[in-house]
Amino acid sequence: MRKLIFFMHTSLDGFVAGPKGELNWANVDEELFDFVATMTDTADTALYGRVTYEMMQSYWPNAGKQPNASKHDKEHSAWYNKVSKVVLSKTMSEKGLENTTVIGDQLADNINKIKKQSQSLSGEKNILIFGSPSASQSLLNLGLIDEFWLFVNPVLLGQGIPLFKGVTKTTQLKLIESKTFSCGVIALHYETKPN
């Protein structure tokens, strides 16, 4: 079965965004972008909450075509345009959306169906969820996230959107690996332990 893997930048004090959703504190560089590209190569589905999807959709479809597009912009734009997208939303409609499925109810049943699908001709590929703190919290409470990549940034925000606000289910994790980047970010890779 395919894995649902959660990717998130976090501050050292556990915030995923500032009070107004700002992410200007997150350290990213070519080394980190190249590392994330190795993860996107293993995935053929991207899962988002509505807000994150709308933000991604406003940038990534054309980012690689811009005259000043970086290597990362070109690569991630190409990946974004070809992968299947799943959006968790009770207010969005699939009408007019390409290669996008909207899930508004029966979250566990619908996500488990997607996990059981093998969309890739080269074998099973994973489902990645980038950001989307509210959607991630719902998935976590239902025990649907299989692995976590937390990119811990060397900054204390003091306030903002908490990483795991509203999580009510205890989830045991096992550290698989960690990686330190020259920009000061430490990536922690966990898998969930079976209950």
Helices (H), the chain: 30-40, 50-63, 71-82, 107-116, 133-141
193 secondary structure, DSSP code = P
pLDDT band for position 118 (cuts 50, 70, 90): low
pLDDT by residue (tens digit) across 48-82? 999 889 999 999 999 999 999 998 899 999 999 99
Rg (CA), the chain: 16
pTM score, whole prediction: 0.89
Task: For residues 32 and 37, give the distance between their C-alpha atoms in angstroms, rounded to a whole number.
Answer: 9
Kindly state which CATH superfamily the domain 4-192 is placed in. Dihydrofolate Reductase, subunit A (3.40.430.10)
Mean pLDDT of 139-158: 94
123 has pLDDT over 80: no
**Two structure tokens written together for 39:** 């993860």
